[in-house]
């Protein structure tokens, strides 16, 4: 397998490589803008208007408006950028992680307290190990 194929073979993982970086540029720069309190306020006061300042795709915009955390990652978002959006909404990394893995924050927290998601079965799609 090529390097790219090996990366793609890891389940549930979206490498922030050149493809996603280019695809997600404006989405991530929107997230990044939320490090300023005045921008957080402006976004919360008028989401649509604020988003007009960032030439993202309609799908990315929809992901933002719908809080589709996994969808935003698949469209080129990077979790460290996205965490600024999370913070704007009062959502932690753990909340976002729960949402992306399809469980509630409480279920996710319980999984972590029990030792986290097991590596076994999570290494490779093709080898199912």
Q: How far is CA 29 from the centre of its chain?
A: 13
Residues in region 38-77 near another protein by CB under 8 A: 40, 70, 73
Task: Answer for the pair 37, 43: CB distance below 8 angstroms, yes or no.
Answer: no
CA distance 3 to 91: 34
Choices 41-49, 50-58, 59-67, 96-104; region in contact with another protein by CB under 8 A: 96-104
Q: Which is nearer to another protein, 5 or 48 (CB)?
A: 5
Nearest to 84 by CA among 73, 75, 93: 93
| Min separation Cβ 128 and another protein, Å | 14
- Which residues contact another protein by CB under 8 A? 3, 6-7, 10-18, 21-22, 25, 28-29, 31-32, 34-37, 40, 70, 73, 78-88, 92-94, 96-98, 100-102, 108, 111-113, 115-119, 122-124
């Amino acid at each position: 397998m090529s390097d790219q194929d090996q990366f793609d073979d890891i389940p549930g993982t979206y490498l922030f490589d050149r493809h996603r970086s280019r695809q997600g540029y404006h989405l991530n720069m929107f997230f990044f803008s939320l490090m300023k309190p005045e921008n957080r306020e402006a976004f919360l006061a008028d989401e649509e208007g604020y988003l007009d300042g960032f030439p993202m795709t309609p799908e990315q915009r929809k992901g933002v408006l719908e809080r589709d955390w996994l969808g935003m990652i698949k469209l080129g978002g990077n979790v460290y950028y996205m965490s600024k959006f999370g913070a704007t909404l009062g959502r932690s990394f753990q909340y976002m992680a729960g949402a992306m893995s399809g469980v509630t924050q409480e279920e996710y927290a319980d999984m972590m307290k029990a030792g986290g998601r097991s590596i076994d079965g999570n290494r490779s799609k093709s080898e199912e190990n």
